[in-house]
Amino acid sequence: MASLLAIIFWLSGLLLFWTYFGYPALMAVWARLMPRPIVRDNALTPTLTILIPAYNEADVIRRKLENTVSLDYPKDKLQILVIDDGSTDGTPDIVREFATRGVTLIQQPKRGGKMGGVNRGFEDATGEIVVLSDASPDYDKESLQLLARNFADPTVGVVVGALRVWDADNAVAKPAGMYWKYESALRKWESATGSTVAVHGNMFAVRRRLYKPLRQHTINDEFSIAMEVMRQGYRVVYEPKAISYDLASASMGDEFKRRARINAGRFQALFSAGYLNAPTPDLQFRLFSHKLLRPLTPVLMLLAFVSNLLLVVLGIFGLLNMPIGFWLLALFGQLGFYGAAYLGYLAEKNGKPNKILSIPYFFVSSNLAALVGLWRWIRNSQAVTWQKRASE
């Protein structure tokens, strides 16, 4: 039994190390030694549609549209569509104020979820390239041009931009920003070697002709769209110079809800939609390393902790045929990390967030959310309608 527990501990630890450190290191080396260049043309200006799904975004939609209409892109080649998903807070009235500035409102009187809105938006989109954007982020003025230049490469089907998290007086902003810097580097290396498998809804550009309508109960729409594009043999690449800016969640509780939904959608896409069965071994390897092991992190953490605890118990009772010292050290290390995360939780709860403690708190809370997402996927209980993220 002790040998089996030791195998579980080491295998769990190895998989955790691989997804967070080993795989990124491999991508970095691969990108340096065997890059697959992206053909870019800075003068390329295809017709382009910005598609903004919205639900009760009255607090941010005016700022978003002011930012959108001021972007540096030929106005005769730019279409701006807002798909309202049954908002009840006056969002449509604000959007109508921009009708004379090139913004078109499409209303869905009954709330049906983001995927239904996206499908409807693509029916009305006229651009060769469609840029999907959430209602909250602002774009750098040259972002559309920077996205578009990548489509000079005929092998590119999707381009995802960079995300910067605005500084805010809360405990989430700093670790969230660190996380996005880490993710940005990994996406850059994945793109340099073929395709990235990580996309987000703040800035997501796709060739309109490659879009395939998805089922309305699809949760992670951008990831599913990207997978359908890769199934057609096209690359999904990252453009680090095309930048969007967004606020971190106002509290870890808000971030928890968001991540639980994202991870439920991740399991839905990989298993229910079958995207883990990728068309090439290379893509399957990337999905396993980056998109499957990440949401399984809490399961691996639990296996590592429980197996470690049982090994210590066996050692205390003299039933362990190996030295107990290492296992005690490993257990205390894990307990210390989780203890720091709990202190981070208490600090935020008491209104005195600590920047250092917020890092283990962010990691543990994010992975608890992944566990909740897994449970919701198993029970098929995740709603397809999305909840606004509080940002202040």
pLDDT cut 90: percent of the chain above it:
68
In the numeric block, which tokens belong to residue 295? 């949401």
User: Is pLDDT at 155 greater than 80 in this prediction?
Assistant: yes
Span 14-40, average pLDDT? 97
- pLDDT band with cut points at 50, 70 and 90 for residue 255: confident
H runs (alpha helix) in the chain: 2-17, 23-33, 61-69, 91-96, 114-124, 143-148, 173-192, 221-231, 252-267, 281-286, 297-316, 325-349, 358-379
Residue where the block lists tokens 């209409």: 69
pTM: 0.88
Domain spans in the chain, listed from the N-terminal domain onward: 48-260
Radius of gyration of the chain (CA): 22
Provide the pLDDT for residue 391. 41
User: Is pLDDT at 167 greater than 70 in this prediction?
Assistant: no
Summarize pLDDT for 169-205 with one digit per residue, the tens: 544 455 556 777 888 999 999 999 999 999 988 999 9
CA nearest 215: which of 384, 91, 40, 35? 384
Summarize pLDDT for 263-283 with one digit per residue, the tens: 888 889 899 888 999 999 999
Provide the pLDDT for residue 392. 37
Summarize pLDDT for 73-107 with one digit per residue, the tens: 999 999 999 999 988 889 999 999 999 999 999 99
CA angle at residue 262 from 261 to 263, to 5 degrees? 95
Span 33-43, average pLDDT? 95
DSSP string, 31-89: HHHS-------TT----EEEEEEESS-TTTHHHHHHHHHTSSS-GGGEEEEEEEES-SS
Summarize pLDDT for 111-120 with one digit per residue, the tens: 778 888 899 9
Provide the pLDDT for residue 387. 55
CATH class held by domain 48-260: alpha beta
- pLDDT band with cut points at 50, 70 and 90 for residue 312: very high
Mean pLDDT of all residues in the chain?
Answer: 90
Summarize pLDDT for 204-221 with one digit per residue, the tens: 999 999 999 998 888 888
Give the whole-angstrom CA distance, residue 10 versus residue 18.
12
Provide the pLDDT for residue 371. 93
